[in-house]
């Protein structure tokens, strides 16, 4: 029952201390049907930096001293998600402690907001917001027996970008990717610009989750020059990205 | 869990010295229901049952559950250690004849460990079906203050006549109203009972089962109508630090 993803947009957000209604108007995906909205947070064991600003992603924890609630209005002015607690939709960098959900609506981002209660002694929180949305379907070729390739990347800096085209022999002609999986504790982001699909700075951890809560991409028609792994952590563990593909 | 859950019932069996088999208390709530799964509550997650009795600490490997199919009268035996919660739960799809079903202690050598200890089982019932993650869902808050041993919910206008798909307990630091929430450490002595229009749907289920974000097998309700005014949470103890708020989100069909 993996959640199928076609497009993901990534936004970074700072949440100040105190009690606030933080507008979500910066999520400017107004004309698309939204599937789900998730937060991404670091954990103590897998600290990560933002792929956008380079700031450290806050460890929200599962029983943390905060109250963060999502409030969404749809384009028909229905307040259909009211005070949804963030620990249900926060995916942490090494766990699958969240609840998958699908909303399938267009959102009025101008009216939507987060209700936040953060103790005054806490510095602002930096979180990443991932918005899964639909676009026009690709004419997907039937992929009867995909081949598999594993690509090993060896990060030696905290911030390092790898273009996968540099690590795959030019003789291997990858046209359509059927599935992506990554090795454990992969502390970076996968950034793909495919035909009719954009996966923007998606935590590689999303493709590590093996339980029924995991994510799977729809087939992606891709040029590997547009497939990046963006390493953003202190970790120096090798990263293995495995692609199932057809030529 | 792929199935859709109509309800669940907590069943307590108090073990006694020298007794090796126990008929399962035949709850009327389970009569004729299609059992989909059984959970065993270990003493870490549920130290005491709703009656206040201590749960079995060790020796689970010596317990066998004999379940008899109501239609065929065929009995199957299951090791209780295999159905401990958080492991892959055994899947059933049958109506059980509880009068012909029993809990068996297979080794009574260490009887002192068993005497007056409770085995607490949860029988989940519902509809066996391939389940697709529902789309067009709506999500609403539900808040409760623990004040005493038995605490009733208050029906929110958003939830009246809604078809409920999930009820999710969570542990934010503060509720949306700004109230402090109960620490997760105090959850193991709390049990939830959910009432439908005229019937009990969930009876004395350890509250932690509703902490869905931590569940490997997130379960879905069968579009249930719940009367929250009649539904409640029992707390075995009510120490001062427990008198705080609980916060849920309720997912309904849009």
- Kindly report, residue by residue over B187-196, the tens digit of the pLDDT: 999 999 999 9
Give residue A43's pLDDT: 83
Report the b/e string of A23-44 with b at 16+ CB within 10 A. Answer: ebeebeeeeeebbbbbbbbbbe
Average pLDDT for A25-39: 94
pLDDT at residue number B124? 92
SS3 A53: coil
Under an 8 A CB cutoff, do B218 and A19 touch? no
- Nearest CA-CA distance, residue B54 and chain A, Å: 27
Question: Widest CA span of chain B, in angstroms?
Answer: 56
Residue B173 with chain A: CB contacts under 8 Å: 63-67, 117, 119
pLDDT bin (cut points 50, 70, 90) of residue A23 is very high
Query: Which of the pair, B219 or B168, is modelled with greater confidence?
Result: B168
Q: Which of A99, A104, A115, A213 to mutate to test the interface with B (most CBs of B within 10 A)?
A: A99
Which residues in A lie closer than 8 A to residue B174 (C-beta atoms)? Answer: 66-67, 117
CB contact under 8 A, B176 and A80: no
Query: Facing residues of B221 across strands?
Result: B5
DSSP B74: -
A82·B131 Cβ contact <8 A: no
Joined together, the tokens standing for residue A83 give 């005070």
Tell me which of B170, B179, B245 to substitute to probe the interface with A (most A C-beta atoms closer than 10 Å).
B170
Return the percentage of chain B with pLDDT > 70, whole number. Answer: 95
Across the interface, whether the CB atoms of A85 and B249 are under 8 A apart is answered yes
Query: pLDDT value at position A65?
Result: 83
Q: For chain B, what is the total number of helices (H) and then of strands (E)?
A: 1, 16
Residue with tokens 């689970």: B60
Q: Please tell me which residue, B59 or B99, carries the higher pLDDT value.
A: B99
- Residue A88 is nearest to which of B158, B249, B254, comparing CB atoms? B249
Q: Which of A247, A222, A203, A220 is nearest to A4 (CA)?
A: A220
Question: Taking a C-beta distance cutoff of 8 angstroms, is the pair B195, B227 a contact?
Answer: yes
Residues of chain A with pLDDT > 70, as a percent, come to 95
The mean pLDDT of B18-40, rounded to a whole number, is 88
Residue B57 region, left (φ>0) first, then alpha (ψ -120 to 50), else beta? alpha
Give the least confident one: A148-152, A215-219, B187-191, B194-198. A215-219
Contact A117 B173 (CB under 8 A): yes
pLDDT level of residue A214 (50, 70, 90 thresholds)? confident
pLDDT value at residue B90: 62
pLDDT at A144: 63
Separation between Cα atoms, residue B129 and residue A30, nearest integer Å: 36
Please name the residue of chain A whose CA is at the shortest distance from the CA of residue B246: A85
Distance CA A62, CA B230 (A): 30
Specify the pLDDT at position A63: 58
pLDDT higher than threshold 90 for residue A230: yes
What's the whole-number average pLDDT of chain B? 89
Percentage of chain B lying above the pLDDT 90 cut? 61
What does the pLDDT average to over B79-94?
Answer: 71
- List pLDDT tens digits, range A154-207: 999 999 999 999 999 888 888 889 889 998 888 999 999 999 899 999 999 999
User: Which has the minimum average pLDDT: A18-22, A192-196, B89-93, B151-155?
Assistant: B89-93
Q: How far is CA A91 from CA A79, A219, B53, B133, B249, in A?
A: 24, 23, 37, 18, 17
User: What is the pLDDT at residue A227?
Assistant: 95
Under the banding of pLDDT at 50, 70 and 90, the label for residue B86 is very low
Where is average pLDDT lowest: A9-18, A66-75, B44-53, B152-161? B152-161
Handedness of CA A162, A167, A173, A176 (dihedral sign): negative
Of A62, A85, A102, the CB nearest to B137: A102
Query: What number is the average pLDDT over the span B53-78?
Result: 91
> B173, A97: Cβ pair inside 8 Å?
no
Q: Does residue A47 surpass a pLDDT of 70?
A: yes
Nearest-CB residue to B174 (from A67, A84, A88): A67
The pLDDT of residue B49 is above 90: yes
Q: How far apart are CA A181 and CA A175, in angstroms?
A: 17
The gap from C-alpha B210 to its chain's centroid, in whole angstroms, comes to 8
Checking if the pLDDT of B83 tops 90, the result is no
Instruction: Name the residue in chain A with its Cα closest to that of B214.
Output: A97
For residue B156, the model assigns a pLDDT of: 83
Contacts of A142 (CB under 8 A, 6+ apart): none
Distances, alpha carbon B195 to alpha carbons A237, B117, B224, B229, in Å: 51, 29, 10, 9
Q: A167: distance to nearest CA of chain B, Å?
A: 35
Once rounded to an integer, what is the mean pLDDT over residues B200-205? 97
Query: B-contacting residues of A 110-139, CB under 8 Å?
Result: 115, 117, 119
**What pLDDT, on a 0 to 100 scale, did the predictor assign at position A138?**
61
């Amino acid at each position: 029952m993996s959640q199928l993803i076609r497009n993901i947009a990534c936004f970074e957000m700072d949440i100040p201390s105190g009690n606030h209604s933080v507008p979500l108007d910066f999520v400017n995906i107004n004309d698309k049907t939204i599937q789900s909205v998730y937060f991404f947070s670091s954990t103590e064991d897998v600290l990560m930096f933002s792929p956008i600003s380079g700031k450290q992603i806050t460890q929200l924890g599962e029983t943390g001293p905060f109250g963060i609630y999502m409030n969404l209005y749809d384009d028909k002015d229905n307040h259909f998600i009211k005070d949804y607690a963030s620990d249900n939709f926060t995916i942490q960098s090494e766990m699958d402690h969240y609840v998958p959900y699908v909303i399938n609506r267009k959102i009025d981002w101008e009216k939507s907001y987060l209700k936040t209660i953060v103790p005054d002694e806490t510095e602002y929180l930096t979180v990443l917001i991932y918005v899964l949305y639909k676009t026009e379907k690709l004419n997907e070729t039937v992929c009867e027996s995909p081949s598999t390739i594993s690509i090993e990347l060896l990060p030696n800096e905290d911030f390092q970008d790898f273009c996968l085209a540099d690590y795959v022999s030019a003789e291997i002609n990858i046209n359509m990717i059927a599935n992506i999986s990554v090795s454990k504790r992969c502390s970076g982001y996968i950034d793909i610009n495919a035909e009719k699909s954009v996966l923007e700075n998606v935590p590689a951890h999303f493709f590590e989750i093996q339980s029924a809560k995991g994510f799977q991409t729809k087939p992606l028609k891709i040029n590997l020059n547009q497939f990046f792994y963006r390493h953003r952590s202190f970790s120096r563990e090798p990263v293995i990205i495995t692609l199932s593909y057809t030529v | 869990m792929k199935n859709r859950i109509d309800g669940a019932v907590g069943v307590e069996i108090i073990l006694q010295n020298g007794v090796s088999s126990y008929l399962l208390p035949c709850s009327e709530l389970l009569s004729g229901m299609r059992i989909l799964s059984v959970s065993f509550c270990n003493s870490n997650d549920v130290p005491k049952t709703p009656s206040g009795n201590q749960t079995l600490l060790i020796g689970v490997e010596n317990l066998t559950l004999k379940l008899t199919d109501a239609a065929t009268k065929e009995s199957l035996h299951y090791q209780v250690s295999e159905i401990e919660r958080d492991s892959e739960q055994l899947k059933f799809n049958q109506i059980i004849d509880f009068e012909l079903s029993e809990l068996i202690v297979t080794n009574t050598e260490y009887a002192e460990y068993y005497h007056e200890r409770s085995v607490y089982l949860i029988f989940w019932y519902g509809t066996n079906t391939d389940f697709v993650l529902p789309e067009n869902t709506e999500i609403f808050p539900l808040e409760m203050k623990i004040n005493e041993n038995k605490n009733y919910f208050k029906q929110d206008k958003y939830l009246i006549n809604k078809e409920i798909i999930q009820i999710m307990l969570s542990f934010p630091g503060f509720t949306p109203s700004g109230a402090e929430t109960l620490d997760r450490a105090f959850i193991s002595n709390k049990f939830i009972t959910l009432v439908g229009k005229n019937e009990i749907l969930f009876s004395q289920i350890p509250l932690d089962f509703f902490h869905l974000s931590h569940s490997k097998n997130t379960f879905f309700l069968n579009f249930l109508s719940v009367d929250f005014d009649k539904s409640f949470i029992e707390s075995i103890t009510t120490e001062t630090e427990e008198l705080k708020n609980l916060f849920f989100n309720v997912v309904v069909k849009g």
